[in-house]
Chain A
Amino acid sequence: MIKTEELQINIGPQHPSTHGVFRMLVTVDGETITDLKPVFGYLHRNHEQIAEVNTYLQNMPYTDRLDYFNSMANNHAYAIAVEKLAGIEVPERAEYIRVLMVELTRVLNHAGALGFLINDMGAWQTQLAFGMREREKILDLFESASGARLMCNYFRFGGVVRDLPDDFMPRLKDLLVAMPAFIDELERLLRENEILLQRSEGIGILPRDLAIAYSVTGPVLRASGVAYDVRKAEPYSVYDRFDFDVPVGSVGDVYDRILVRIEEMRQSKRIIEQIIEQLPDAQGGHINPKARQNVRPPVGDVYARVESPKGELGFYLVSDGSTKPYRYKVRAPSFINLTPLGDMCRGYKVADVVVILGSIDIVMGEVDR
């Protein structure tokens, strides 16, 4: 008599499709997933504890290393948190430069994320190479402004470390000419592609209610049909001055997440165009000259959040009045978006797990901290 039994297998931690050292404990019935437990912690590097022995400024380069794809967005969230805590004002021009950098980050993150997602589906390197090419152009801009491509460490309390170099704006305008062409081409390549549709349509559905219950944020939440964007819900910096739309999905599957990300790149481009218009009239310099970098905030606590390309990135800081934070907590979007992975994968095939994981767009540096 033939007997079947469930099998437990590990995907990861050393697996090229797990986007880092991440383990999924999968229970399979044949090819079908009956249960999946995400196992974190392989990249834990004591980030929050280290931050509590550092001064406030010394933590800035460490935030680069959380989500190493989007160091500018991490810097922004941390800078806002400390500025709120210490009551530092930011000049208008610095705010524009910050938003410009963060929106460029969003474009490069989505270009890379879609490339890696297509990579996970088996279209080895083609879309990734196109995405990485656009990403390199943006990284060149980051390098000329901040001095580094990935670990930018560009933000300071009260502004940014130095003003944009002279050749930045012409190069940015060149980039904006190429960007719509790139996004349109990306859409032509992916949107109607029958193979991609088969791998992504109806796969990894995260229902709206479940997404809210899991506190999922970012493109994953919006793909599930919730129009929640921190830039709109609680406008920080100068986001209330820009016109841009919030794309949402209707089903909440992998395909919706792809579409939402493509549209978000378009909206980011719109914001960048408005920044270029408004930046010359902005008041003030690149940094508040009165802002002390060696801050000693008054006793109290603060939670500041931004819409990072991956979702809501928040910093919770408690000050005891010294130069070092008493408590430093990161609300990492990758980590929280990863928690419903088990529910998203249940009932699908083993091959879909990798695609669903890729569509969440995680960076393990941020998940484990």
Chain B
Amino acid sequence: MDIQRGNIIVMDRRTGKLRAGQGLLQGLKVVWDHWAASFRKNENFTQIRGNFTVEYPDERLQLPQAYRNMPVLLYDDESGHELCTGCYQCQRICPPQVIHITQAKDPVTGKMVPAATEFIIEYDACMSCGFCAEVCPFDSIKMDHVFELSTADHDSLTMRKAQLNRPISYYTSIAPDLWEGVKAGAMKKLQGNIKRRPGVIGMAPSLTEKIKARRQELAEAAAAAPPAAAPAAPAAPAGKLTPEEKAAKLAAMKAANAAKKAGGEAAPAEAPAAELSPADAKAAKLAAIKAANAAKKAGGEAAPAEAPAAELSPADAKAAKLAAIKAANAAKKAAEAAPAVAAPTTGNGTAAPTDEKAARLAAIKAANAAKKAAEQGNNE
């Protein structure tokens, strides 16, 4: 047979220069050289000798940006809106058919909304081919770098939307160049989609509950403001309360609510945060709880004050009121800081460490202020 641009080499079976045993010794020398070099750490890939071992759980190689393991869903850090519109492209292309999407509907008009109410990926059957990420026209689905997903049961690997959500800031931390390439188009499409989404539809589930709660509170506060006097009036005959005392009680209640809120806001953050950045999240939670307790204490001290209120001098009541207001403010501050903790930590602890730190600081400050307020209340 003719061969173009090359020759046929018949392999030389034996050089025959070596005497019996020499070939063995020559081979042993190779092994010996490797053994001798193995005590030296070597990361230079032009070399073939040395210790190339990476002591895995302790040391880790930097993963390339293109690395793909399991798909995740991105949401915008600022608006909380998911990039996914539920267009079914990924569900159609998925070779093992593990993606299941439920399209969102407008509750009023019943029309389709460019958002997904549920998005399930069966991680246990996913083959990590990356087609879903490639085909996604909104750059919503991306391949995660986390590969330590072992569990003992299959059910926990059926990931729902809340478990798949990652903020964009997390994706930029693992693949900055890849995101930079698609950023402009993705954000433009997202802005268009947000306009077509009524209410909280299309928001990351971790944020939706919070936003719903906040909106409801605001609505209640608005509704409760004028008739606030009404419930206050029946309270008057029960205790012969002076206006100052009434105010103190109200302030104490407010403080308690605010503190409860602070506690409540921080609590949901605990579950996802605890796994990812145990130290920071735990500290933040602790601070928030402390703030709540301190505020409650302040409230508690002020509230019993109601019963013997008659004996209290107006000055004392005023001081108690002041302390309670301070506590309320501090607690409110803590409450505001807490969602900031919750938001970035849902994705990954590394996403926004500075925010977390700030939140933690705020929570600690709030706790201190609340404590101080409580002490003041006690003293007076």
Contacts and interface: CB of A to CB of B under 8 A. Distances in A.
A58 B93 contact: yes
Interface string B21-47: 111101101110010000000001111
A162 to B, nearest CB: 7
A244 B9 CA distance: 10
A45 interface: no
Contacts of A165: 64-66
B27 A188 contact: yes
A44 interface: no
B292 to A, nearest CB: 46
Interface residues of A, number: 65
A259 interface: yes
B9 A192 contact: no
B108 interface: no
B46 A177 contact: yes
B151 interface: no
A336 B99 CA distance: 37
Given A61-B127, A177-B46, A147 B7 contact: no
A245 B6 contact: yes
Contacts of B12: 259
A249 B137 CA distance: 53
B123 interface: no
B130 A147 contact: yes
B207 interface: no
Interface string B96-131: 000000000000000000000000000000011111
Contact of A228 (B1, B48, B67): B1
B131 to A, nearest CB: 7
A189 B30 contact: yes
Given A143-B67, A188-B30, A193 B23 contact: yes
Given A194-B23, A228-B1, A178 B47 contact: yes
Given A130-B34, A147-B130, A148-B128, A193 B24 contact: yes
B46 A178 contact: yes
Q: Is the interface of B mostly helix, strand, loop or mixed?
A: loop
Nearest to A232: B3
A55 B93 CA distance: 8
A192 B19 CA distance: 10
A144 interface: yes
A235 B3 CA distance: 11
A126 interface: yes
A344 interface: no
A313 interface: no
Nearest to B46: A177
B23 A192 contact: yes
Nearest to A250: B10
B209 interface: no
Contact of A233 (B1, B9, B30): B1
Contacts of B313: none
Nearest to A243: B5
Interface string A131-163: 001101100100111111001010000000110
A147 B64 contact: yes
Contacts of B30: 185, 188-189
A197 B23 CA distance: 10
B10 A249 contact: yes
B222 interface: no
B143 interface: yes
Contact of A161 (B27, B93, B134): B134
Given A61-B95, A147-B66, A194-B20, 15 more contacts: A54-B95, A55-B93, A58-B131, A60-B129, A61-B131, A62-B95, A151-B127, A178-B46, A190-B27, A191-B15, A192-B15, A244-B6, A245-B8, A246-B9, A255-B13
Interface of A: 54-55, 57-62, 126, 130, 133-134, 136-137, 140, 143-148, 151, 153, 161-162, 165, 171, 174-175, 177-178, 181-182, 185, 188-195, 197, 225, 227-228, 232-233, 235, 240, 242-251, 255-256, 259-260, 263
